[in-house]
Amino acid sequence: MIPPKVKSMMELLEESGYEAYIIGGAVRDIQMGIEPEDFDIFTNATGEQILKVFPKGNVIGGEERQAKILTVVVDEVEVSQYRCNGDRTKTGDSLLTHQSTCDFTINSIAMNKEGKIFDSQDGINDIKYERLKFVGYPFDRLKEDPLRILRGIRFWTKYEHFTFDDIQIILDNINLLDHISPERIRDELMKILRYPQGAENLWCDEVINKIIPETKAVKNVEGGDHHNESVKKHMINSFEEAVKLTDDIRLRLACFLHDIGKGITYTIDTKAIYPALEGETEIHFYEHENLGAELMEERLSKLKFSKEDIKYITTLIRLHMYSYKSEPGDKSYIRFFNKLEDANIPIEDYIILIYCDHQANLAKPRIKFGDFIKGSWLYKKYYEIKY
């Protein structure tokens, strides 16, 4: 159950006079019949004492993290001292105290090297009855580390069958995220988008409006004359289609955000016919792709995305309407393909984007991805020109 190297490390800590327990995700996953990705060891030894037990270990994190409780990485296993508060600034000396400051009950379960379970917060029952619950008073846990707002959304999304009665407390305290660094918010956002319901759960509870405020503008915008769904629903649909085709979170995010500019560019015009029929109008989103790319370049920069990732995502947003051009010439194709290559976007990624855009439009016929590629003049032209 516990990997030999992890068990050996726990034994070495105990032989040195310290406690050693596996706490958190690994124990939770074992209880749920899932193969753990990693194992985190917690102990009453201080960071300095941990380094004496494991002299080849490395302290992780920058100055901000190292100013808190030290975590030592030993052969890819994290070893940390108990804490007595949720933001990791105060060390603890007991397992019970540490468990009382965990975020959720299902993440507070501990296991010793023999596999014995220590469950002071009733996490086992919450797994059994599929409940996501904060440890203790939810507001206390959120004040300790407001990132738990997004962690709550992530676990609720990951375990979609779990009830989460504390969701309203999260929404009532969403402004606590103002105290969290953009990097931590970005990382948690990308983790949420690993899951098929990630975009919908972020938006249905309007957490996305705090992370990407530009989504507010499209919340109640109708899709236009060529859609049977709202812009918001179209964006969520696009993301869900992307989840089926790619594990690249950047591409999923681009599919999600591709129409973000429609909120500001929404216009209603009299139909362009002569003579104009009274009351006949049509909806337009002029240049929404360019505005959307500009908005997201600024937003993703604030969230501390890398320059490479920003260029990749915003280029896809800016170019997503190219596939609607009629009979472009070879020079136009070449300029377009060069823009993709300059942003390190494979042609297959662009095809996934426009396929997800197509499938998200409920006014269009359904088509399998393989058939979509076969019928793509853009895909064929790429290989004609490039090869």
Residue type for 228, please?
A: N
Peptide bond into 275 cis (omega under 30): yes
pLDDT at 151: 95
Per-position b or e across 266-277, b if 16+ CB within 10 A of its CB: beeeeeeeeeee
pLDDT at res. 272: 53
Number of H helices, E strands in the chain: 21, 9
Write down the pLDDT at residue 278.
Answer: 55
Residue 16 token pair: 């040195």
Contact 151, 188 (CB under 8 A): yes
SS3 content of the chain, % helix, strand, coil (to 5): 55, 10, 35
Range 1-129: architecture per CATH = 2-Layer Sandwich (3.30)
> How many CB atoms sit inside 10 A of residue 241's CB?
21
Handedness of CA 72, 78, 84, 90 (dihedral sign): positive
Look at the chain and count its residues.
Answer: 387
Task: Find the Cα–Cα–Cα–Cα dihedral 163, 32, 104, 119, rounded to 10°.
Answer: 120
Which amino acid belongs to residue 166?
D
To which H or E segment does residue 71 belong? strand 71-74
Residue 67's pLDDT is: 47
Please give the helix or strand (H or E) that residue 31 lies within, else none: helix 25-31
- Please, which residues have CB within 8 angstroms of residue 193's CB and are 6 or more apart in sequence? 199, 239, 249, 252, 253, 256
Does residue 348 sit in helix, strand or coil?
helix
Cα 184 to Cα 147: distance, rounded to the nearest angstrom: 8
Residues 6+ apart with CB under 8 A from 316: 251, 254, 258, 343, 345, 349, 350, 353
1-129 and 130-211 have identical folds: no
Q: Parse the chain into domains and list their residue ranges.
A: 1-129, 130-211, 219-232+245-387
Residues in the chain with pLDDT < 50?
Answer: 62, 64-67, 275-276
Phi, psi of 224, rounded to the nearest 5 degrees: 105, 180
Residues 6+ apart with CB under 8 A from 362: 227, 228, 229, 237
Secondary structure class of 118 (helix, strand, coil) = strand
CATH of 130-211, one of 1.10.1200, 1.10.3470, 3.40.50, 1.10.110: 1.10.110
What is the three-class DSSP state of 343? Answer: coil
In the block, which residue shows the tokens 């069958």? 161
pTM of this prediction?
A: 0.88
